[in-house]
Structure formats: structure tokens, C-alpha cells
Amino acid sequence: MIRNYLVARHGLGHSVTLFVLSQLLLLSGIAAAAVYSLPQQPVAIPQLQNEPRCVELKYDWPQVITDEQLQSTMFKLRPQLNHPRPKINFVDHAVRCWGLQSTFNDKNCLSGAEMAAMLTDQNAFQAAWGAEEAPLLIEGEFGPGFRTQEGGATSSHVDHTLGTLAEIGIPLDHPIVLKDGASPKSVRDLLLAAMRDFRVNQKEYEWTTVSAASYATGPTEWISQDGEKVSFDLLARRLMRQEWTQGVCYGNHRLYALALLLQFDDQAGLFQDKSTRSEVIAHLSEATARLVKSQAAEGYWDQNWEDASRSPEEMEAGGPQMRRILATGHALEWWAIAPQEVLPPRETIIRGAQWLVVEIENMEPASVVKNYTFLTHVGRGLCLWRGKFPYQLTPLSEPQSADQSR
């Protein structure tokens, strides 16, 4: 036996080696298959705080809009959505503008609490949209989420409604109600699912950034479903990577998200790399410089706001009025939460705001309804420039005409 062993060892060593290697490869393949077949482990998620942080009111410039103008403008933009089947993108834009605390002396309006309930409770959603409509809140691969871009009963952008809940102050432990029989869930489950499902190169990422930054406790990071390490430094650079007007609303939502990251970095130190903050400030300063150079004489901007080389004649030959209101309102909104060092001259903001006030004053009710989503950005931005959130104006009373005031 010993001799046979020695012969095998010395005379057949090469064959044995090949045999052993083949067996090891077989075993490693089996082990890999076993690991692959195991249930996917949840990706790493940073520590989160229950209460979302809120943007700070930074300015109160009466020259931008007077108290009387603000009351009149916001009365025209009240959320008259108390009717069957209100579009969900109208509801989430309206509650983001007006806030959870808003109330109205108008039976045609929904309160902030009623609008938030429609977004977080399938029963409230069904009461508005009917039992035959597919639910807004659904279970996905990584957890609960919102149906998106599937018509009027769904959210208009990836994580837009989640970002709205964060911006109006909904805590993570706030319950969400899915269809009958579903296990209890919370806003935390919505956020974790969004973060797990996130891809750095997905088409829309602005509102995932806003949501995560609102609840993050500091310079944290997580691992996406693709194995990418996601941090707020990476998100900031992703937001700055695209061409100026690429993305939703001519790129303004990316600028808003960057301004919000600066505020929250002040509050909680979100950035790991010290150079990130200076990069964001430089990017927003460049956006401001372009806006200053491309502002029309009347005060508005258009979809090509980044093109400072355009002549006044080209500005005048721009697109429809609603496009100008969209571009101008969004610019004023992100400036309202941005640091002083990236702001334009005060006159630039005043001209833009006063142009908007006149346009909205002259707008027919049907036009307000048709273009309500981006008009909410106008209203919120104008309120922020007066150092208040829109809900602090409610309940609103109808402005008196010149004849009534005599």
C-alpha cells in the first residue's frame, strides 16, 4: 500500500495534480452557485433621522414682491383640487408649495393634510380616484413606491412624490397605507426602497438626492443595487455633470437640488470631500452669471437661459409665455434657498419677480389650472423671498378690488 502510494505520488504526480485541480474547480463552481442562489442581502443604507431637515428662510426682500402682491398672487394659486380624479402631479406639486399645515376658506380647495393623505393612504387616493383605478402606492422589487409616469393617477417623476413628503416635513415613521391586506409600511420603507433601487446614471435622480439628503444624518454613503458606492459628493458631481438646460424644467431642478445640498451641508456636513462644496458654489455661480447675461429686458428667462450670447431680439422671439414663466419661476425658487455668494444683483431678482407678478395677475383661471404645476414653483419662490413659507399666508382671503376698497 505504501509502495503504491509512493508510486502514485512520484510517478503519477502530474495526473494527480490535474485531478485535484479539476476537483477544486468543480467544488468552487458548486460553492459559487450556492452563494448565487442565496437570497439577495439588503444593500447598505446609512443611518437616517426620523424628522427631515427643512430649508432655512434666508431672505426677506420687500422690493421683490410686496405683501399685497404676495396675497393676491397666492390667492390665485390656491389648490382648487377638491374634485374627482385630481391629477397626482398637481396634488404633490400643490402640497409641496403650500405645506402640510395649509388650510383654505374655500370648499374647492384641499388642505395640506388632505393632499398629503391622498399621497400616503390608498383609501384617501381611492376616495378621490375611485375603486377601479390602479393604486398609487405599490410594492416593488425593493419595497413600496409610487406608480410613476403612467398617467394622471401617478407621480410625474422618479421619486418626486417622495421628495415632496420630505420637503413638507413628513417623518420616516409616518405610516403609509397600501391596498387591503398589505403589511404595514412607513415612509422609511419608501425611502429605503428608493435608495436601494437607485442607479447613479438613471434618467432622473434629482428627487432621490433631495429625499436622501433630507433624512441623512451626515456625510454618509450607501451601496446601490448595482454595487455603486453612493455619497452626497458623488450626487453633487452627478448633478453638475450634465449640460446646463438638460433635465426636467430646463435643468432648474438640478440647480435646486445643489442649492439644497449646500443648505443641508451647512446643517449636517453632508460632504466628505472638502472640495465638493467649493465646486458646487462655483457651478451655481456660473449658472447665475449666465442667467444675468441672458435675462430679457422685461425680466424673464426662457428655455435657453444658459446661452448668454443671445441678443435681445432673440430673447424677444422666444417661446410661449408659459415657458418663460416656467424658466423664470424655477430660477427664482432655487436662488431663494441659495447662499448669498451665488446670488445675482438684487435688481435681477426684482425684475424677474415683478414680471411674474404681472403675468399671473393677467392670467385667466383656465390657464392657471392648465399650468398649475410649475406655477406652484413661482408661488413658493416668491414666498421664500419674503421670508415665509406659503402655509403661513393661509387661510387666504380674496383680495379687494380698487372699487371694493373705497
C-beta separation of 359 from 367 below 8 A: no
Nearest-5° angle of CA 298, CA 304, CA 309? 80
Q: Exposed, middle or buried, 48 (CB in 10 Å: 0-12/13-18/19+)?
A: middle
Q: Is residue 399 part of a domain?
A: no
Among residues 285, 249, 195, the alpha carbon closest in space to that of 277 is found at 285
Q: Is residue 102 part of a domain?
A: yes
Q: Report the C-alpha gap between 142 and 165 in whole angstroms.
A: 19
> Which pLDDT score, from 0 to 100, does residue 243 have?
94
> Three-state SS for 21?
helix
In this structure, the number of other CB atoms found within 10 A of the CB of residue 50 comes to 12
List the grid coordinates of 301: 428667462
> Three-state SS for 221?
strand
Q: Report the C-alpha gap between 198 and 69 in whole angstroms.
A: 42
Q: Is residue 171 part of a domain?
A: yes
> Which pLDDT score, from 0 to 100, does residue 46 have?
75
- Pair 108, 202 in one domain: yes
- Pair 115, 162 in one domain: yes
- Pair 3, 97 in one domain: no
C-beta separation of 250 from 330 below 8 A: yes
Q: Is residue 398 part of a domain?
A: no
- Pair 267, 350 in one domain: yes
> Which pLDDT score, from 0 to 100, does residue 33 have?
41
Q: Is residue 263 part of a domain?
A: yes
Domain count, the chain: 2
> Three-state SS for 146?
strand
- Pair 4, 138 in one domain: no
- Pair 266, 318 in one domain: yes
Q: Is residue 406 part of a domain?
A: no
Q: Report the C-alpha gap between 71 and 281 in whole angstroms.
A: 33
**Amino acid identity for residue 387 in this structure:** G
Q: Report the C-alpha gap between 243 and 304 in whole angstroms.
A: 11
- Pair 28, 100 in one domain: no
C-beta separation of 376 from 93 below 8 A: yes
Tell me, what DSSP letter sits at residue 310? -
Q: Is residue 348 part of a domain?
A: yes
> Which pLDDT score, from 0 to 100, does residue 390 have?
98
Q: Which domain CATH number covers 122?
A: 1.50.10
pLDDT in tens, the chain (406 residues): 333 333 333 343 444 344 434 444 444 443 434 333 333 444 567 789 999 999 999 999 999 999 999 999 999 999 999 999 999 999 999 999 999 999 999 999 999 999 999 999 999 999 999 999 999 999 999 999 999 999 999 999 999 999 999 999 999 999 999 987 788 999 999 999 999 999 988 889 999 999 999 999 988 889 888 888 999 999 999 999 999 999 999 999 999 999 999 999 999 999 999 899 999 999 999 999 999 999 999 999 999 998 866 554 554 544 588 999 999 999 999 999 999 999 999 999 999 999 999 999 999 999 999 999 999 999 999 999 999 999 999 998 887 654 444 4
- Pair 105, 34 in one domain: no
Q: Report the C-alpha gap between 27 and 288 in whole angstroms.
A: 61
Q: Exposed, middle or buried, 242 (CB in 10 Å: 0-12/13-18/19+)?
A: exposed
List the grid coordinates of 98: 403650500
- Pair 267, 143 in one domain: yes
Q: Report the C-alpha gap between 172 and 189 in whole angstroms.
A: 8
Q: Which domain holds residue 22?
A: 1-38
List the grid coordinates of 99: 405645506
> Which pLDDT score, from 0 to 100, does residue 399 have?
79
Q: Is residue 49 part of a domain?
A: no
- Pair 374, 329 in one domain: yes
- Pair 12, 111 in one domain: no
- Pair 156, 250 in one domain: yes
